[in-house]
Amino acid sequence: MIEEDENAPTVVDLVDAFVLNEVTMGKADIMAWAKPYLAKVVEKLTASGKADRVPIFKAEAANIIKFVMSKIDEFQFYYGKGYDTDGALVFSYTADQSDAGPTFLMFADGLKAEKF
């Protein structure tokens, strides 16, 4: 039987495993990040032969940004371990107080899949 250390720090697995770095952002910061980032994703989709995904991506991205803006005080924001401010941003919030942990939102079309 494994004993748990009550003094061990509690971490969110996703944040810890991917070395995400929390940043403070307001509405203006989110909009300043979103416009160029989302344009890069559209460019990437088009260049990779997935132009049919562009209208869907734009609609879904607009909905996510509106959702985040409507509850911005409830969100935490993270950049990857390199603090690439031109790269993906991870959004985190507690969807329901009975949840075991936070809910994370990411733009899947903007992520690079890697096998481990």
Q: Which DSSP helix (H) or strand (E) runs through 92?
A: strand 90-93
Tens of pLDDT, residue by residue over 36-71, are: 999 999 999 999 999 999 999 999 999 999 999 999
Model's pTM, two decimal places?
A: 0.80
The Cα–Cα gap between 77 and 71 comes to 12
Q: What is the mean pLDDT of residues 14-32?
A: 88
Q: What's the pLDDT at 18?
A: 79
Q: For residue 110, give Cα distances in angstroms to 24, 74, 95, 98.
A: 21, 23, 23, 30
Domain boundaries 17-99, CATH class: mainly beta
Q: Break the chain into its structural domains and give their ranges.
A: 17-99
